[in-house]
């Protein structure tokens, strides 16, 4: 039985346009969904629904949000790379 959660995309010159991973199991879709939820929830926690306010605090929140996206996507990439066909 295959335990892969993702499969690699094949590149730009094939019908699998792009780079990255495609979920092939329910666990892969769950990881992808949790990644999206983590990014959305960190944005809402930092900015609320007032994302267009200006000032020093919003710049700091923007940097924290950017670093949280990098961490979340890094963890996703590690999981996807480990669980790829």
Q: Determine, yes or no, domain membership for 72.
A: yes
Q: What is the residue range of 10's domain?
A: 6-82
- Is there a domain that residue 78 lies in? yes
- Domain contains 34: yes
Tens digit of each residue's pLDDT (9 = 90 or more) over 18-27: 678 889 999 9
| Total of domains in the chain | 1
Residue 42 lies in a domain: yes
Model confidence at 74, in pLDDT bands (50, 70, 90)?
Answer: very high
pTM of the predicted protein model: 0.79
Contact call for residues 45 and 61 (beta carbons, < 8 A): no
Indicate whether 1 belongs to any domain.
Answer: no
């Amino acid at each position: 039985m295959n335990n892969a959660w993702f499969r690699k995309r094949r590149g730009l010159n094939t019908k699998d346009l792009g780079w990255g991973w495609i979920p092939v199991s329910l666990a892969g879709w769950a990881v992808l969904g949790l990644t999206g939820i983590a990014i959305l929830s960190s944005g809402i926690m930092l900015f609320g629904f007032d994302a267009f306010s200006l000032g020093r605090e919003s710049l700091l929140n923007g940097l924290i949000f950017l670093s949280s996206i990098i961490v979340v996507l890094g963890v996703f990439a590690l999981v996807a790379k480990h669980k790829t066909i």
